Amino acid sequence: MQVETPTILIVDDEKSSRKILNDLLKEKGKIVLAKNGTQALELAAAQRPTLILMDILMPDMNGFQVLEKLKQSDDTKHIAVMFITALGSHNDETKGLRLGACDYVHKPFHAEIVQARVGTHLELAKQRRMLEELANLDALTSIPNRRQLEKKLDIEWANSVRTGEPLAIAMVDVDFFKLYNDEYGHASGDNVLRRIANILEAQLKRPRDLVYRYGGEEFCIILPDTESTGAQHILETCCKSVESLNIEHRESTVSPVVTISIGACICAPKAGESVEKALQQADQQLYQSKRQGRNQVHIKTLPEIESVS
Ligand SMILES: Nc1nc2c(ncn2[C@@H]2O[C@H](COP(=O)(O)OP(=O)(O)OP(=O)(O)O)[C@@H](O)[C@H]2O)c(=O)[nH]1
């Protein structure tokens, strides 16, 4: 799992305060500075900092208002915000924490206390990010899981609706995998799934092309901005790559080694159309690949997809 350098956004209208905090925290990560609330919101959206240290009393928009706006956006609502302020009353502190700040430090502050608290919040943010990543990964194969697929598919679907780019969705299924498990044991079966996941991933070269474990011995590949010829080429390469692993499968009637079958559909989605229907179509093509002999690819280009009723 990749550990990124944290970004800390310091928001204060006083230049001297920004400088002091910058000097204090520069060892802990990349520092970004904002001198007012508007700038803070822009930088928070663009740079997604790990932690924001923010003054409350500022001219254009106060810290409470900035925090409320951060919480209203899906992109920024999870960023940890720590107030660092001369406002010392219980009421102000309560208000800040109720609005969702993770901490509240009074000015004048002790340098070591601010450093220690920032350290704690950065560590918590790192752990939260690792948990989120783990929740999106399949435990057996370490590739993204179905939960992540559903999120990404929604994003790519909406993107295709907006841009008109074709979207290829492919379902992949291991051939005679029940027989493989029966013959070689479940642990060997697990190992085959890991190796297939790895080799499928290796065939996808563009950053938005991704393979997901759909469940059981099924995988799903999504290829944004890919038309039929391109998809056919990549998916056939996927089939060949699995065959080239050369994993013995005595019980298969298709090949002496483990193979996969693939069914895909190429969609040009329009607003209101349903991604589930596209997945069903890919499944039907997978069924065709199974019926017509396995270890092959079937693709259908969809003229239109039925709307969600
Ligand atoms: N080892 C292992 N086996 C799994 C896992 N998930 C599903 N399976 C097995 O995959 C097999 C799927 O069998 P079927 O759906 O009958 O399909 P098949 O034997 O691959 O036959 P075809 O798809 O028609 O080629 C079942 O025996 C499941 O137990 C897993 O995580 N590990």
Q: Give the number of the atom of ligand 1 that is nearest the alpha carbon of residue 177.
A: 20
CA 82 – CA 79 distance, rounded (Å): 10
Give the 3-state DSSP-derived string for the chain, with helices as H, strands as E and coil as C. Answer: CCCCCCEEEEECCCHHHHHHHHHHHCCCCEEEEECCHHHHHHHHHHHCCCEEEECCCCCCCCHHHHHHHHHHCCCCCCCEEEEEECCCCHHHHHHHHHCCCCEEEECCCCHHHHHHHHHHHHHHHHHHHHHHHHHCECCCCCCECHHHHHHHHHHHHHHHHHHCCCEEEEEEEECCHHHHHHHHCHHHHHHHHHHHHHHHHHHCCCCCCEEEEEECCEEEEEEECCCHHHHHHHHHHHHHHHHHCCCECCCCCCCCECCEEEEEEEECCCCCECHHHHHHHHHHHHHHHHHCCCCCEEEEECCCCCECC
- Is ligand 1 within 6 A of the CB of residue 55? no
CA of 177 to the centre of ligand 1 (A): 5
* pTM for this predicted structure: 0.77
Q: Is 217 a catalytic residue?
A: yes
Average pLDDT in the 8-17 region? 97
217, 218, 243, 273: the catalytic one is 217
Pocket test for ligand 1, best of 143, 214, 217, 239 (most atoms within 8 A of CB): 217
Q: Identify the weakest region by mean pLDDT among 155-164, 170-179, 210-219, 269-278.
A: 269-278
Strands 218-224 and 210-215, by their bridges, are antiparallel
Give, using CA atoms, the residue closest to atom 31 of ligand 1.
216
- 305 pLDDT higher than 70: no
Give, using CA atoms, the residue closest to atom 7 of ligand 1.
216
Q: Give the number of the atom of ligand 1 that is nearest the alpha carbon of residue 190.
A: 1
Look at the block and give the residue holding tokens 């040009």.
Answer: 268
Domains defined along the chain, listed by start:
7-135 (3.40.50.2300), 146-301 (3.30.70.270)
- Is ligand 1 within 6 A of the CB of residue 174? yes
pLDDT tens digit sequence for 218-252: 999 999 999 999 999 999 999 999 999 999 999 99
* Contact in structure between 182 and 116 (CB atoms under 8 Å): no
- 168 pLDDT higher than 70: yes
- Is ligand 1 within 6 A of the CB of residue 214? no
pLDDT tens digit sequence for 34-58: 999 999 999 999 999 999 999 999 9
Grade residue 307 by pLDDT with cuts at 50, 70 and 90.
very low
Taking CA atoms, 202 is separated from 181, 189, 227, 287, in Å, by: 25, 20, 20, 25
Average pLDDT in the 167-181 region? 98
Q: What is the pLDDT of residue 3?
A: 61
CA of 98 to the centre of ligand 1 (A): 50
pLDDT, the chain, mean: 94
- 152 pLDDT higher than 90: yes
Grade residue 306 by pLDDT with cuts at 50, 70 and 90.
very low
Strands 51-54 and 7-11, by their bridges, are parallel
Q: What is the pLDDT of residue 309?
A: 34
Average pLDDT in the 273-301 region? 95
- 2 pLDDT higher than 70: no
- 27 pLDDT higher than 70: yes
Nearest one of 210, 212, 220, 138 to 172, comparing CA atoms: 220
In the chain, the percentage of residues whose pLDDT exceeds 90 is 90
Q: Give the number of the atom of ligand 1 that is nearest the alpha carbon of residue 189.
A: 1
- 1 pLDDT higher than 50: yes
Burial of 156 (0-12, 13-18, 19+ CB in 10 A): buried
Q: What is the pLDDT of residue 132?
A: 87
CA 273 – CA 304 distance, rounded (Å): 9
Give, using CA atoms, the residue closest to atom 13 of ligand 1.
178
Q: Is the ipTM above a cut-off of 0.90?
A: yes
Q: What is the pLDDT of residue 304?
A: 62
pLDDT tens digit sequence for 88-116: 899 999 999 999 999 999 999 999 999 99
